[in-house]
């Protein structure tokens, strides 16, 4: 099973969408193996978005992600990275399909409700930034035999 990182951003928390995002992840059949609410410090934000550090919007991105609490999660399932990216939708909510989280709740690329890792490598790096190994729970979920062949 793959693991991926998902973060409900400050706009998602402020708009009361935490339950909706979690519900969609769980209804799809994915398993949440770690979750916490936190207020991201600037150093962590800079490290999390390091691939954008040379881009003109980098400081605005850091300022935004540190502007309010977020909910960080580790999500597990078969092809979890791809499945979560599909659930989340295109980065720009204007281009995100209806039925996706961003398509249903986002209006602006800078306030697109949720972050999801875009590759296994990114997922591993992002998970390690936000969670220690002992914060990730190993468990069997009843009904898993009805999800996968």
The set of catalytic residues is 115
Identify whether the C-beta of residue 137 lies closer than 8 Å to the C-beta of residue 123: no
Instruction: Give CA–CA dist 91/114, Å, rounded.
Output: 9
DSSP string, 75-106: EEETTHHHHHHHHH--SSTTTSPTTSHHHHH-
Cβ neighbors of 92 (< 8 A, separation 6 or more) are 102, 109, 112
Q: Which residue has the tokens 């769980």?
A: 26
Q: Which residue has the tokens 């550090």?
A: 53
Identify whether the C-beta of residue 63 lies closer than 8 Å to the C-beta of residue 75: no
């Amino acid at each position: 099973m793959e693991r991926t990182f998902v973060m409900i951003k400050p706009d998602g928390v402020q708009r009361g969408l935490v339950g909706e995002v979690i519900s969609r992840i769980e209804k799809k059949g994915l398993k949440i193996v770690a979750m916490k609410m936190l207020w991201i410090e600037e150093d962590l934000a800079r490290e999390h978005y390091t691939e954008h550090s040379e881009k003109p919007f980098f400081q605005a991105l850091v300022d935004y992600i540190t502007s309010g609490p977020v909910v960080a999660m580790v999500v597990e399932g078969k092809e979890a990275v791809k499945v979560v990216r599909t659930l989340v939708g295109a980065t720009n909510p204007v281009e995100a399909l209806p039925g996706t989280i961003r398509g249903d709740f986002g209006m602006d690329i800078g306030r697109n409700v949720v972050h999801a890792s875009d590759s296994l490598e990114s997922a591993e790096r992002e998970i390690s930034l936000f969670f220690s190994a002992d914060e990730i729970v190993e468990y069997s979920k009843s009904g898993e035999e009805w999800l996968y062949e």
